[in-house]
Amino acid sequence: MRNETIDVLTDYARANPDVMLLTADLGYSVLERFADALPDQYANVGVCEQAMAGIAAGLALSGRRVVLYSIANFPTLRCLEQLRNDVCHHNLPVTVIAVGGGLAYGAQGYTHHGVEDLGIMSMLPNIAVACPADPHEAMALLPQLLERARPAYLRLGRSGEPVLHRPETEITLGHAVWMRQGADVALLAAGPILGRALRAADVLAERGISASVASFHSFSPLDTAFVLDAAARHRAILTVEEHVVVGGFGSRVAETLLMGGLAPKFGKFGVTDALRGRIGGQSWLLDTLGAVEDHAEALL
């Protein structure tokens, strides 16, 4: 989805000369299309994420909308205080794009696993946090984040994520989308792991369990009305995320349910200590956490 997203960004920046793209020397074979087309709106600042975030704040304070690009934790955790103080506190139009969110970098190892980013970034002031599941969502959300002209974080996968939506499906920041509707359990998914949730619903159907599946491409603002509606219409809720289960999407949903006075059967599928020290590809690592359908069935 990263190539599609950069294509959208390039088109957007061509029409909006105030948009600048900074990278901390990552994006080989991805960013060239932007850099070649719009060299005056592009800068590779070198391998210095803290400075990059500060530079972005300086540009934004001087009238630019800035997009930062790097992978996994580098444009988020590495420069967290710069994002907190210089970007978010000042409510500046800076959009951080991280590719390889979740476990996408698989066997590259723990340093490249971006599994705390959504929770941490969403705690910063003024920020919108999006984790699209497929290219369709990513391409729809990026312009909305840029139009918002405030701090934003867009977590992408890598490449080759299949399109899960029909082309006509409208994607709006802050609004979750039903992918299929069932009766027993609702699988609420954040990010490309949505594909795994959809496959789980197929397996559950074979087991005689009717599952709904929703895509929560917007982590913050979270569609709390959607959560409460889902809880009212299902016996159980399972959140599905490629993120640590402490302080992530599942935690946000649980808090929403409690605040809304609802107590359905509830479970969280996500990254746990079961992955500590395990080496393997994204799919293998997720398999290690168990099958989504088994987590769902166990709730009922």
Partner 1 sequence: MTKEYGVSERETIKGPNEADGESAAGREGDCVDQRSDRRIEGVRDVSAMDTLALARRLRCHALRMTHHARASHIGSCLSIADLLAVLYGRVLKVDAKRPDWPERDRLIISKGHAAAVVYAALAEKGFFPVADLDAYSADGGPLSGHVTKTVPGVELSTGSLGHGLPVAAGMALAAQRAKEGWRSFCVLSDGEMDEGSNWEAIQFAQHFRLSNLVAIVDYNKIQSFGSVAEISDLHPLAEKFRAFNWGVHELDGHDHDALAGALAGPPPLAGRPTAIVAHTIKGKGVSFMEGRLAWHYSSPSAAELETALAEVEAGA
**Which spans of this chain sit near partner 1 (rule: CB under 8 A)?**
20, 40, 43, 45-46, 48, 50-64, 81-82, 85-86, 89-90
Full strand arrangement of the beta sheet holding 42-44? 42-44, 19-23, 65-71, 94-99, 152-155, 128-130, 218-220
- Min separation Cβ 125 and partner 1, Å: 12
Extract the tokens encoding 179.
């992918």
The residue type at 117: D
* Closer by beta carbon to partner 1, 61 or else 279: 61
* Closer by beta carbon to partner 1, 51 or else 163: 51
What is the biggest distance separating any 2 CA atoms in the chain, rounded to whole angstroms?
A: 59
The 10 Å Cβ neighbour count of residue 73 is: 23
- Min separation Cβ 81 and partner 1, Å: 6
- Min separation Cβ 251 and partner 1, Å: 28
Distance (Å, whole) CA 247 – CA 264: 19
Strands 177-180 and 211-215: antiparallel
**Are residues 195 and 165 in contact, defined by beta-carbon separation less than 8 angstroms?**
no
Query: 254: closest CA among 267, 273, 241, 243?
Result: 267
- Min separation Cβ 56 and partner 1, Å: 6
Distance (Å, whole) CA 41 – CA 269: 41
- Min separation Cβ 54 and partner 1, Å: 3
* Closer by beta carbon to partner 1, 56 or else 99: 56
**Are residues 244 and 114 in contact, defined by beta-carbon separation less than 8 angstroms?**
no
* Closer by beta carbon to partner 1, 52 or else 292: 52
Query: 246: closest CA among 130, 154, 118, 155?
Result: 118
- Min separation Cβ 59 and partner 1, Å: 5
Distance (Å, whole) CA 30 – CA 97: 13
* Closer by beta carbon to partner 1, 65 or else 165: 65
* Closer by beta carbon to partner 1, 64 or else 234: 64
- Min separation Cβ 202 and partner 1, Å: 49
* Closer by beta carbon to partner 1, 46 or else 290: 46
* Closer by beta carbon to partner 1, 59 or else 213: 59
Distance (Å, whole) CA 224 – CA 254: 10
**Are residues 271 and 103 in contact, defined by beta-carbon separation less than 8 angstroms?**
yes
- Min separation Cβ 147 and partner 1, Å: 21
